[in-house]
């Protein structure tokens, strides 16, 4: 218990030596952090948007060239009904 009390006293003693910033300084630095965070978020958002559109465009070009090479194969979904599927359930011999 004496060690804990000693630690707390030393911690308070060290905190009394700290030069704390003034209120205007804290406000100015807080606004700076918020502005830098917003700028960074905007940069990351624009980079993400640009890369997403670029990749989507690139994949669209690849999709168009691959379908034209396959004889105009359609990229529409295939309709399969459950009755169209046949499964052989006889055991192998």
- Sign of the torsion formed by the C-alpha atoms of 43, 44, 50 and 53: negative
Q: Dmax over Cα atoms in the chain, in whole Å?
A: 89
- Here the tokens at position 65 are 């060239």
CA 91 to chain centre: 50
pLDDT tens across the length of the chain (93 residues) = 999 999 999 999 999 999 999 999 999 999 999 999 999 999 999 999 999 999 988 888 776 665 555 555 566 777 888 888 887 788 877
Domain boundaries, the chain: 36-63
CA distance 83 to 13: 82
The pTM (predicted TM-score) of the whole model is: 0.52
Q: Are the beta carbons of 60 and 75 closer than 8 angstroms?
A: no
């Amino acid at each position: 218990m004496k060690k804990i009390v000693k630690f707390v006293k030393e911690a308070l003693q060290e905190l009394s030596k700290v030069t704390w910033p003034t209120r205007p300084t804290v406000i100015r630095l807080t606004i700076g952090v918020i502005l830098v965070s917003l700028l960074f978020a905007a940069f990351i958002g624009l980079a993400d948007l640009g890369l997403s559109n670029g990749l989507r465009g690139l994949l669209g070009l690849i999709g168009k060239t691959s379908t034209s090479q396959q004889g105009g194969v359609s990229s529409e979904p295939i309709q399969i009904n459950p009755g169209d599927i046949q499964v052989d359930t006889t055991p192998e011999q």
